[in-house]
Structures are given as C-alpha cells and as structure tokens.
Amino acid sequence: MAFIELKNINKRYKGNPKNSVSDFSLQIEEGEFIAFVGPSGCGKSTTLRMIAGFEDITGGELYIDGQKMNEVKPGDRGIAMVFQNYALYPHMSVEKNISYGLKNMKVPAKTIQEKTDWAIDILGLEEYRKRKPKNLSGGQRQRVALGRAIVKDSKLFLMDEPLSNLDAKLRVSMRNEISQLHKKLKNTTIYVTHDQVEAMTMADRIVLMKDGVIQQVGKPMELYEHPDNVFVAGFIGSPQMNFFFVDVKDGTLAFRDGMTYRLTEAQKEKLAGRDQVILGIRGEDIKFSELYTSQYPENIMTAQITNTEVMGNENNLYFDLAGQTTTARVDKYEICHEGDERHFVFVPEKMHFFDAATEQAIR
C-alpha cells in the first residue's frame, strides 16, 4: 500500500447542492512532493482539509501509512500544516513561536531546545531568534511558520497556498527554500496552489483539478508535454497554449478562414476517421527562424505582428491566425515590430490534437 491512499473520496458540504470533491483517488508514496493545483474553487483546500481531518469525508476512504483515517482526530494523524494565513503569536519571539507547539505536546525541554535550534539553523533564522513577528519581513515570518511545522517530526506536511501573501520576488525565493527544505527533510508533502508555476517548479507530481474532479496526475513535464485534455493543456504553461477548431479533410487541416495545413504521415494516421479536431500549439513551438521554415516549406504561414512584449529573456509576439489572437514565444534576439510580416511554421511533433466534442487528447 502507498504511504497515502485516497480512495474515491467525495465531499458534499451541508447546504451546497454540488459535490466540492468528486471521486478523488490518488496514491502518494513516502517522500513525494505532490502539488494540488487548479483554479480557485476547484476543491484543493477541501481535499487537503479532509486529509488533515478538519473536514469530514462524505464518501470514500483515506489511509495514511496503512491506517484508515476517516474517523481519526486531526491531532492523531501525524501531520503538520502550513496555511496561507499563518498566524504567528505576536507577543512571542521567533524561538518561542517555533517551540510553542512542542511545549503543548509535553515534549521534554531538552528535546524542544534541540529541535528548535535545528529548525532555526535549517531555516536561517539564527540572527532573528529573539525578534517578535512584527519586526520580521514577510519571508522571515513565513519561515517561522515553516519552523513551527517542521519541529513536529510529522511524516506528512500539508501546505495550503503558503506563499500567496508574499510579493512576487519573495514567492520565487521561498519556493526555492521550500524545495530545498524538502530535499533535506524528505517528508511527504502535499502543497496546494492555484499557481501552475509553483506546481511545475516544486512538485515531483502534479494533481490538476477542476470542479472537484482530477483532470490529470503526473510529473510536471508529463502534463506540459502530454496534457490529457484541453483544460490541462490550457492551464499549464504561460503564455497559454493556442487552440484552433479545425476541419480534417484530405490529409489537411482547414482553419476557419480557409487557410490549410498539410498533415504529416504520422498526423494523418493519428487523425484518421475524424472530421473535426481542436489543434493546440504552444508559443515556443511556433517558429519564425529560417532554420525551421526551410524544414517545412509546404506549411509556411504568414503572421502580421499586432503586438510584441519584450520580456528581457524572450519576446512574446501576437498576431492574428484564422481570426484568432495567437501568441508565439521567440528568442530575445528575434526582434519584431508591430506591423511586421513574418513567415512561420508549427513544429509538427509539438502539435497537440484533442477531440472536438470531448476535448480529450488524441493519442
């Protein structure tokens, strides 16, 4: 049995006509860093809170370390939790905030001291040890909140949007710190976020949810390269993948404005027997350079650039394709201006196809 098993978990809140979580099944191995990601309201926190024991499980079974947990009290589940609103005790120093939970648990004083020192060291809080929370930066406060969780020796960490209150720069550095911490401690971690970048950069595996239902579970690059459906394809990656409804006819794709694209043999095989599909292409797989256009001369298309975003490390180019705003991501040295006409091609192996009705990936 996996370290954590969720079997067909359902949640229906009283007074809510809809399930907040439906038929959620997942196995988590010991030491894994799992991200629950999805738009606001998709059921991430509810699932996490059922694992923690703060919400009743309406249906299904939850096992932690082989033991059924449905009826076990939160305090007896061996978990530590970090929330978005980590209320530190304002009148207590960093050190006291970190050790307070252990005192409540009647841990011997010597052990408390050792664990607190260890946490302060590992989180780089030594010089702030005696400070009160009001005299700390947001990132330092967040580290204290992490400290309170890690001293508890829990085999399972649950984190619910712990970085959402921090500014963008701090979020990036804290996300690295949490990743590093996980490498050191190796506690099984479930990390809830609405931010696909956090999920992509931190998780061993991502669980992507929508409307209480798991859409896909996999390694970050599996979701990025092989999304199971249009929702996953659109949620992971920025700028968003470009999508087009196209007709499949005589070995070509016909766009809405009449433009056609000649399919490769492999693509023809994949799309055999279909007359309409959704085509998906990521911005970085739209290529403007001669290197690519010369490779696929039969499929050169023309873009009239309507806007450019200079990001520093790369540029986003906007243009109209078959009546639809399309975004390409190009190298920072590929300078383009509004009004420029440029030839481009799609990288055939990077084109995604989805069923026009079900929106499921065509493999």
Residues that bind Mg ion (CB under 5 A): 45
Please give the angle made by the CA atoms of 263, 267 and 272, to the nearest 5 degrees. 100
**Cα separation values, 263 from 20, 45, 248, 296, 355, Å:** 42, 43, 9, 11, 17
Residue 37 CB, nearest approach to ligand ADP (Å): 9
Q: Considering only 33-41, 90-98, 170-178, 318-326, which stretch makes contact with ligand ADP by CB under 6 A?
A: 33-41
CA distances from 162 to 20, 45, 149, 177 (A): 22, 12, 12, 12
Which does residue 83 touch among Mg ion, ligand ADP, none (CB within 5 to 8 A, set by kind)? none
Q: How near is the Cβ of 329 to Mg ion at its closest, in Å?
A: 30
Under rule CB under 6 A, residue 46 binds ligand ADP: yes
- Candidates 37-45, 83-91, 132-140, 322-330; binding stretch for ligand ADP (CB under 6 A): 37-45
| Residue 13 contact partner, candidates Mg ion, ligand ADP, none, CB within 5 to 8 A by sort of partner | ligand ADP
Q: Which is nearer to ligand ADP, 22 or 327 (CB)?
A: 22
Q: Is 45 in the site for ligand ADP (CB under 6 A)?
A: yes
Selected range binding ligand ADP among 40-48, 77-85, 88-96, 303-311, rule: CB under 6 A: 40-48
- Answer for which of 13, 83, 100, 292 binds ligand ADP (CB under 6 A) is 13
Residue 34 binds which entry of Mg ion, ligand ADP, none, CB below 5-8 Å type-dependent: none
The DSSP H or E segment spanning 231 is: helix 230-235
Q: Return the one option of Mg ion, ligand ADP, none that residue 53 interacts with (CB less than 5 to 8 A, by type).
A: none
DSSP 212: T
Nearer to ligand ADP, 16 or 104 (CB): 16
Cα–Cα distance for residue pair 254/125, rounded to 1 Å:
60
DSSP string, 52-98: HTSS--SEEEEEETTEE-TTS-GGGS-EEEE-SS----TTS-HHHHH
User: Locate tokens 């664990």: which residue?
Assistant: 115
Give the residue, chosen from 16, 73, 298, 333, that forms a contact with ligand ADP under the rule CB under 6 A. 16
Closest CA to 349 of 244, 263, 241, 242: 263
Closest by CA position to 157, among listed 115, 203, 195: 203
User: In the bound complex, what is the minimum distance in angstroms from residue 213's beta carbon to ligand ADP?
Assistant: 11
SS3 284: helix
Measured between alpha carbons, how far is 12 from 241 in angstroms, rounded to an integer?
A: 33
Verify binding: residue 292, ligand ADP, rule CB under 6 A.
Answer: no
Binding site for ligand ADP (CB under 6 A): 13, 16, 20, 38, 40-46
